Amino acid sequence: MFEQSSLKFLEKLMLCSGPSGFETETARLYRDYLNGFAHRVYTDVMGNTVGILNPEAEFKVMLAGHYDEIGFQVVYISDEGLLYFRANGGIDKLTVPGTEVEVLTANGGIPGVIGKKPIHLTKEKDRNTAVELEDAWIDIGAEDKQEAEALVTIGDPVAVRRNFRFFGKNRIMSKGMDDKIGAFVVAEALRELSRRQLAIGVYTVGTVQEELGLRGATTSAFGINPHVGIAVDVGFSTDLPDINKKMLGEINLGGGPELNRSADNNVVLVDRMLAAAKAHDIPYQLTCGHRASGGTDTATIQLSRSGVATALVSVPNRYMHTPVEVCDLRDAENAVKIIVETVAALQPGDTFIPGLD
């Protein structure tokens, strides 16, 4: 399994709070970690953090995992001192009431809880439906608007309460597993690659604002201009009741990372990854993903400039976009191994043109 220093970094990363557009805390931690082994590290104006091996090399590989997370944002403070909010990213409204949160203010985090009208006062026909966000609020314990305004400012981001834990033999639970587990994987891949002799340049990027439309990957890919791009995100574990395996395939938690075959996955690069996994006896699971293309940083990296050879590696995930997402460390570790062996074998001049022998 991972070294203790890596697991300590993982824990710290998961305990960061960085809703899309407000990833400052996460970027700071990520930058500090990459500085331990990368040849160059920087955070750009968007908030993407980049760690580089061999920055002078002409042939470039980009590894990307987004470290933003879904959350909320304060839009109004009522006379009662309650905070009204909007979603920041794709919120599962069924999980919102009763969620413990933290308002990220300029002076530190303010604890709160998302409240709604008690079920006893709700019309029977509405009791089994999701609450609209406009009918919910955040209670921070303030007695009135003046007290709340002394603590919170309009526009402050709101994150789910920090809740990372190890449980079972190999599994971890946290809010924001999507996709800080991916950001962790590409950081660990860079650390392992820093111990190899490489003929190419490698750029690991913790990207931002993926949950709002792949925004950080768009700008960082344009700036890096890579030949190859590998993104790591979470994928749907289907080893749960009532998930349609006929449409999503057989994906088991702990069965290995998912290697994707879809339109935003270059067939030559995917074949190389499959060959690396087989040659080094690394477990993996083959998937088509839940759509033909798009949805992750892979899609926008692929379309950067004149095009990039891209591949998506997915870490199976349970309960995606809820406060209690679950992944298996073995899947993350094997994702690192496949990426490292694939990238270490690349050479300047390698081509990824489909159908070219």
User: Catalytic site residues?
Assistant: 210
Name the 3-class secondary structure at 5.
helix
Measured distance CA(209)–CA(21) in Å, rounded: 6
Of the candidates 101, 241, 248, 111, which has an alpha carbon nearest to the alpha carbon of residue 175?
Answer: 101
CB distance 234 to 182 below 8 Å? yes
Is 189 strand, coil or helix?
helix
- How far is residue 32's CA from residue 38's CA, in Å, rounded to a whole number? 10
DSSP string computed for 126-139: GTTSPPPGGG-EEE
* Half-sphere CA count of 194, side-chain side, radius 13 A: 19
What are the two backbone dihedrals, phi and then psi, of residue 101, each rounded to the nearest 5 degrees?
Answer: -135, 175
CA 162, 209, 149, 79: dihedral to nearest 10 degrees?
Answer: -100
Contact 59, 201 (CB under 8 A): yes
Query: What is the spatial order of strands in the sheet that 60-66 belongs to?
Result: 40-43, 49-53, 201-207, 60-66, 228-236, 309-317, 258-260, 285-287
Query: Dihedrals φ, ψ of 271, to 5°?
Result: -60, -35
Compute the Cα dihedral for 237, 217, 332, 88 and give only its sign: negative
**Start-end of H helices in the chain:** 4-14, 24-34, 145-149, 177-193, 215-224, 245-248, 267-279, 297-302, 329-344
